[in-house]
Amino acid sequence: MKHIALLAAALLPLAGPALSQTAPVQTASWGPGADDAAFSRMLAASFKDKGIARIDRLTQDETQAFCSDPEAAASPAAAARRERIEAANMATVKWPSDGQWLGDWKQGEAIAQSGRGNTWTDKPDGANGGNCYNCHQISPAEISYGTIGPSLSQYGTLRGRDEETLKAAWAKIYNAKASNACSNMPRAGHMGILGETQIKHLMALLFDPKSPVNASPANTQPGPAK
């Protein structure tokens, strides 16, 4: 919320004589020195519950609060806090209950390419998409894709399929902040967006040698068929 204070600071000189340098110093209700509690109240008053989209989505957990606060991120204690936050997020990861990492890549592809779900028109028991396509290239055949995250093309081929690699990918999908406190990737398992079976399908998409992710780029070049 501090960036709002900075924006306000930039606007102040335009406000005219009432804010000249000789004006008495007051606690601002907005701008520099404004209290975040007032801003939070204003934010909460701007939204209401509708369907499954509840106002409690505005309540930040410790991870979100830390990552939204530039002063905390710049403080000398930041590195230690990031480590603590990552450990706390890692502790939330639920591993596959039957020890099987991989499901069906075809269903994984459908989940990865869907951003559907969690809006006020969705039903509480409806299955959500993973929204992966919005941030990642998924297969080498794609010519248009999100670039907020790294390409996942060739993931299993390049990374291999040993236990440690599978575990790291599972943890990334379940709770992305377990390995990167302020990751921009949503915490799909931890936030209840995806369930265990859906994560297994996504794992198969990343690791199954037959999945389009691991298709040979040479055979999937865009352009006219040769």
Residue type present at position 69: D
Please state whether 91 falls in left (phi above 0), alpha (psi between -120 and 50) or beta: alpha
- Cα→Cα distances 116→37, 113, 131, 165, 212, Å: 33, 9, 7, 28, 21
- Smallest distance from ligand HEC to CB 35, Å: 30
Contact residues toward ligand HEC (CB under 6 A) are 112, 130-132, 134-136, 148-150, 152, 169, 172-173, 176, 180, 183-186, 188, 202
Distance, CA of 105 to CA of 160 (rounded, Å): 16
Residue 100 vs 145, nearer CB to ligand HEC: 145
Residue 50 vs 210, nearer CB to ligand HEC: 210
- Smallest distance from ligand HEC to CB 7, Å: 24
- Smallest distance from ligand HEC to CB 122, Å: 17
- Smallest distance from ligand HEC to CB 52, Å: 19
Q: Work out the burial of residue 53: count CB atoms within 10 Å of its CB; fewer than 13 is exposed, 13-18 middle, 19 or more buried.
A: middle
148's tokens: 């907020």
Distance, CA of 90 to CA of 24 (rounded, Å): 50
Distance, CA of 217 to CA of 204 (rounded, Å): 18
Residue 65 vs 158, nearer CB to ligand HEC: 158
Which of 226, 217, 222 lies closest to 139 in space, CA to CA?
Answer: 217
Please check whether residue 208 is in contact with residue 156, taking contact to mean a CB–CB distance below 8 angstroms: yes
Which of 101, 110, 88, 104 lies closest to 179 in space, CA to CA?
Answer: 88
Residue 8 vs 90, nearer CB to ligand HEC: 90
- Smallest distance from ligand HEC to CB 218, Å: 22
Residue 28 vs 193, nearer CB to ligand HEC: 193
- Smallest distance from ligand HEC to CB 207, Å: 10
Residue 102 vs 173, nearer CB to ligand HEC: 173
